[in-house]
Structure 1
Amino acid sequence: MEFFHLLRQSPRPLAFGALHSFGSAFGQTFLIALFVPFISQSLGINETGFANIYAGITIASAAALPFIGRMIDRIDMLRYSLLVMVFLAAGCFVTSTSENIPVLIAGLFILRFAGQGLMSHVSMTSIARYFDRNRGRALAIAAFGFPMAEAIMPAIFLALIAGLGWRGAFVTAGIVILLVMVPLASWLVRGNAGFRAVPAHSASAKSAAADDKTNGPSSIAKEQPADNIEPIHTNNATDAVKADRHQTNGSPHPKLFRSVYIWLSIPMLAGQPLVLTALFFHQSVIASQKNIDLGWFAAGFTLFAITSVIGAFGSGPLIDKFGARRLFPWHLLPLMMAVIVLAMTSTAQIIPVYMALAGFTTGFATTLRTAIVPELVPLHEIGSVRSSLTAIMVLASSAGPPIYGWLFAASVNLPSILIGTVSAMAIATLLSWLAERPGFYRPPHMTQPQAARVG
């Protein structure tokens, strides 16, 4: 019932988040992969060469994300969103005109960077910043756009490719982004000053709060410390800003990345994207070694999508009740069980179990990895920190397939690889649990206004 209450109370901000998670599909691998055979044939690229180009583009996109992603903390949210959508549409048009490899690289880079990177970033960051009490539930609703796109976009684009060719499909996508998504995003949050506002550091927030009271149903809360964080006792807002600058030394987020906490947590952040990307990429090898028809894996993706939705919506209330930091060290457990199941048996009937368990971790991780950021840093650093952490996860996903490929090439048997995978995830879980021990990291004093208390 809390989900329905939240939807009734803030339908437009939640729809804005879901629109961007859905729109990220234009740059996601599952959709671009549909074009690979047609692009390869048209430009005379073999699939191995295409895979190498794609890996390089993904790494370049991850490297660029922290620099552009942090600007979301300094620019009106709607303006940032519209710039990203126009950039994404440009990627569709550039890709459609590809007659040689350099143009193809440029187009695919824009698609990956604006789609997988920035559209997802806008979706999750905007919701994490705006919602407070029900942040976990709100993120779960916004994240629903990801599985929705996975469910319907492939069929739509296969039909477009069949009817218009791969170039026409990309042109159509660009037109839809400009004529449907851009106006829709603008309509959803144009009048919500609290949602669009740049997070304030100082006393200037008072005027922002006053403007928000007159322009939207929710107002930015008065300055108050986050839960379990001692307040800074200052005489005025200027002193608070000085204290904040002293902590950050003028940089976006050095305190978090200088802490032992984040370096103990990075293996946990990287675990799910690295392992699942590698296992899905090499699923034909796994199927061959286990003498299981590949169709079982293909069918398993439907169950994977269903359980990822269940995991996302199930995680929301848990995050709101217990906090993301307390739950974070345990979210790889279903994936560990999935890999154990895959390692220990060779019957086709275990594939749905494996895919279902993997889906739970994926859904849980989608909301959890964003919800944890506001518990670690001040409100005005959420976008900057999240973009850096997302870049780490993208790099991990690009590293997974070659790592497992090297292991297969070295004739390491599949059970050993899978048991090694479980062991590595167990170590990541232990490190993440240790990171929460006292003394490793204490979030900075949040003297700026907290997120609007919606819900």
Structure 2
Amino acid sequence: MLRLFMRGFAELFTVHPRLALFPLAAVATSGFGQTFFISAFGGELRAAFGLSHTAYGALYSGATVLAAWLLFRFGSLADRWELGRAVKLAVLVLAAGCLVIGLAPGPAVLGLGFVLIRFGGQGFIAHLGMTTAARYFAAARGKAVALAAGGIPLAEALLPPAAIFLIARGDWRWPWLAAALVLLLLILPLLRFLSREAPPVATAAQGPGGKVRQFTRTEVLRDRGFYFLLPAVLATPFVATAVLFHQAAIAEERGWALELLAGAFVVFALGHFATLVIAGPLVDRLSAARALPLALLPMAAGQVLLAAFAGSWVPFCYLGLLGISIGLATTAGGTIWADRYGVLHLGAIRSLVHAAIIIATALAPLFAGVILDSRLGVGELALLMAGLGLGGAALAMVAQRFKVQVEP
């Protein structure tokens, strides 16, 4: 499958061979600030600092929201700074966050570390990777974004097992200190090497990606179509975070063994990666605007199955369908803004959207927790999630009728 993946994306390496790998490497680097890596330390962090589940969750959610604001504030640096300079800032912030967590004496400093890794990792370095993919590969934008999105399953496969391995052989602080060293000594030189081919942003705006009018972020906020597309882009990360964060509670109510759930997550990962192989060519052929509504349908179907059935086959189906939606929605959602608004101010535009995604993923566990703690249960939660997916798809279809227009 990996050979098929690389062969399908070979055309990306004909113009900027090193730059084509930069988005993949940058998005994979964001794994140090993603929830799937941080969650491996949940028990150790709560025990070390005497935090309850509620206090730990509130600290993490608060840091995530603050990181989203920082990304909104500084995301436009991707438009104004040379790529190598922006990469240096992102990696230094991420490494500083890892160092702060590894040396944290108390919860307040831990919260500061969370802010730094969420902004530098999930926020800024991932933002640079996806923006670069959409900006410089206009002729095969969908493929470039899909290749970049492959960094997430790559990080999922490597980072949590490495963290667990180090925790088992020492203190929970070791992986964070090791991460800071890896980021500074290996990843930063690699990313700066791969980013050297990046042309000036103005050059990209004059090429194939600049055929549409180049909208500013302020103009985008005045475009009615933006508000029909945004819910569709937010739906998949919101639903995925809500469901995956409370996976243990869902399994307990449905009577599923953890071993069954572990096997279902393999199907989830395979669905995610396999979809990336076809998502890029599909988005390039259909257009992101047409592919985005379709991306939400597998997820909605999986949530309906979760609501209606409790058999041992259900987690394999609904998690597999969720993985398919993530792969296709990430590609379509990462492409649509450059298609609609141009690439000159893409960093500022994407930072707005990415900040909204971060806030949505911060609120999703709270929303799902309230549902599960009430008289409602997994079935009702799943139907609500399916409704969000179908509603987002409907709005995205309506958005296709809106031509890009900005009222003064």
Within 5 Å, give how 1:40-79 maps onto structure 2: 40-79=46-85
Q: Which amino acid aligns with 2:358?
A: V
Q: Which amino acid aligns with 2:37?
A: L
Within 5 Å, give how 1:202-351 maps onto structure 2: 252-351=216-315
The separation in 1 between residues aligned to 2:302 and 2:365, in whole angstroms, is 18
Once the two structures are TM-superposed, the CA of residue 2 in structure 1 deviates from its matched residue by 4.2
User: 5+ residue gaps in structure 2?
Assistant: 1-6
Within 5 Å, give how 1:5-44 maps onto structure 2: 5-7=11-13, 9-44=15-50
Once the two structures are TM-superposed, the CA of residue 225 in structure 1 deviates from its matched residue by 8.3
Cα displacement string for residues 116-159 of structure 1 (whole angstroms, at most 9, x for unaligned residues): 11111011111111111111112222221110110121111111
Match of 1:95 in 2: 101
The secondary structure found in structure 2 opposite 1:45 is coil
CA RMSD of aligned residues (A): 2.0
Match of 2:383 in 1: 419
The structure having more radius of gyration, on CA atoms, is 1
**2:308 matches 1:383:** no
The secondary structure found in structure 1 opposite 2:171 is helix
Match of 2:139 in 1: 133
Once the two structures are TM-superposed, the CA of residue 226 in structure 1 deviates from its matched residue by 5.6
Percentage of identical aligned residues: 30
The separation in 2 between residues aligned to 1:414 and 1:158, in whole angstroms, is 30
Once the two structures are TM-superposed, the CA of residue 188 in structure 1 deviates from its matched residue by 2.0
**Conserved? CA contact 1:304–1:356, under 8 Å:** yes
Q: Please, which moves more after superposition, 428-437 or 109-118?
A: 428-437
The separation in 1 between residues aligned to 2:208 and 2:64, in whole angstroms, is 40
Match of 1:216 in 2: none
**Conserved? CA contact 1:377–1:443, under 8 Å:** no
Within 5 Å, give how 1:73-222 maps onto structure 2: 73-190=79-196, 192=197, 195-197=198-200, 199-200=201-202
**Conserved? CA contact 1:312–1:365, under 8 Å:** no
Once the two structures are TM-superposed, the CA of residue 46 in structure 1 deviates from its matched residue by 2.4
The secondary structure found in structure 2 opposite 1:280 is helix
Q: Please, which moves more after superposition, 397-406 or 74-83?
A: 397-406
Q: Which amino acid aligns with 2:404?
A: R
The separation in 1 between residues aligned to 2:372 and 2:248, in whole angstroms, is 12
**2:368 matches 1:362:** no
The separation in 1 between residues aligned to 2:45 and 2:208, in whole angstroms, is 54
Cα gap change, 1:307 to 1:443, in 2 (>3 Å): farther
The separation in 1 between residues aligned to 2:209 and 2:55, in whole angstroms, is 53
The separation in 2 between residues aligned to 1:267 and 1:386, in whole angstroms, is 15
**Conserved? CA contact 1:293–1:348, under 8 Å:** no
Q: Please, which moves more after superposition, 356-365 or 262-271?
A: 262-271
The separation in 2 between residues aligned to 1:275 and 1:170, in whole angstroms, is 29
The secondary structure found in structure 1 opposite 2:76 is helix
Q: Which amino acid aligns with 1:343?
A: A
Cα gap change, 1:171 to 1:223, in 2 (>3 Å): closer
Cα gap change, 1:221 to 1:36, in 2 (>3 Å): closer
The separation in 2 between residues aligned to 1:394 and 1:185, in whole angstroms, is 24
Match of 1:209 in 2: none
Between Structure 1 and Structure 2, which shows a larger proportion of helix residues?
2
The secondary structure found in structure 2 opposite 1:134 is helix
**Aligned pair count?**
400
The separation in 1 between residues aligned to 2:272 and 2:391, in whole angstroms, is 24
**Conserved? CA contact 1:127–1:142, under 8 Å:** yes
Match of 2:404 among 442, 446, 451: 442
The separation in 1 between residues aligned to 2:247 and 2:130, in whole angstroms, is 29
**Conserved? CA contact 2:223–2:404, under 8 Å:** no
The separation in 2 between residues aligned to 1:113 and 1:368, in whole angstroms, is 23
TM-score, normalized by length of structure 1?
0.83
**Conserved? CA contact 1:25–1:146, under 8 Å:** yes
**Conserved? CA contact 1:90–1:174, under 8 Å:** yes
Match of 2:373 in 1: 409
Cα displacement string for residues 381-423 of structure 1 (whole angstroms, at most 9, x for unaligned residues): 1111111011111111112111122122220133233223222
**Conserved? CA contact 1:335–1:358, under 8 Å:** yes
Match of 1:372 in 2: 336
Match of 2:3 in 1: none
Cα gap change, 1:224 to 1:5, in 2 (>3 Å): closer
